[in-house]
């Protein structure tokens, strides 16, 4: 049942992104920015927690989940450290995904030849 919800909710979020691509002139970078900021806002008002509760990865794997991670991180950090938490919370929480992407990008660049040049 969890799997079904993860698939359906995750798919539905992607459909929302697809509608933005097809029906507006927004570029991929803008769409990703809109989604990540929406993720922070939806988490701040408490909606996204509920979606994560029943959809699991369907709510955390889309880039909105990245915003959710940022918001949760800053919540915890401000509760724990007060003022400095405002600065550390977001980036600390999303460091895992960003660092993994960075490592993957570097390794791929070093060991792969660009197809467009051959």
Partner 1 sequence: MRTNKKQYDRMVKNTSPRSRVLRNCVWAFLVGGSFCLTGEVLINAYRAAAFTLGDARLLASVTLVAISAVLTAVGWYGRLAKRAGAGTLVPITGFANAVVSPAIEFRSEGLITGVACKMFIIAGPVIVYGTLSSVVYGVILFVKGRYGL
Residue of 19, 50, 54, 80 interacting with partner 1 (CB under 8 A): 19
12 counts as binding partner 1 under rule CB under 8 A? yes
Indicate the DSSP class of residue 1: -
Residue of 25, 53, 83, 118 interacting with partner 1 (CB under 8 A): 83
For residue 88, the minimal CB distance to partner 1 (Å) is 9
Residue of 50, 54, 98, 118 interacting with partner 1 (CB under 8 A): 98
Cβ-count burial 94-108 (b if 16+ within 10 Å, e if not):
beeeeeeeeeeeeee
């Amino acid at each position: 049942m969890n799997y079904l919800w993860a698939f359906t909710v995750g798919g539905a979020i992607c459909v929302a992104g697809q509608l933005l691509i097809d029906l507006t002139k927004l570029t991929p970078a803008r769409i990703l920015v809109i989604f990540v900021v929406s993720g922070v806002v939806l988490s701040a008002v408490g909606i996204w927690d509920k979606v994560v509760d029943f959809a699991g990865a369907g709510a955390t794997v889309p880039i909105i989940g990245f915003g959710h991670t940022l918001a949760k991180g800053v919540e915890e950090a401000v509760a724990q450290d007060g003022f400095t938490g405002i600065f550390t919370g977001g980036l600390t929480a999303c460091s895992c995904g960003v660092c993994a992407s960075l490592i993957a990008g570097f390794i791929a660049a070093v060991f792969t030849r660009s197809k467009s040049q051959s």
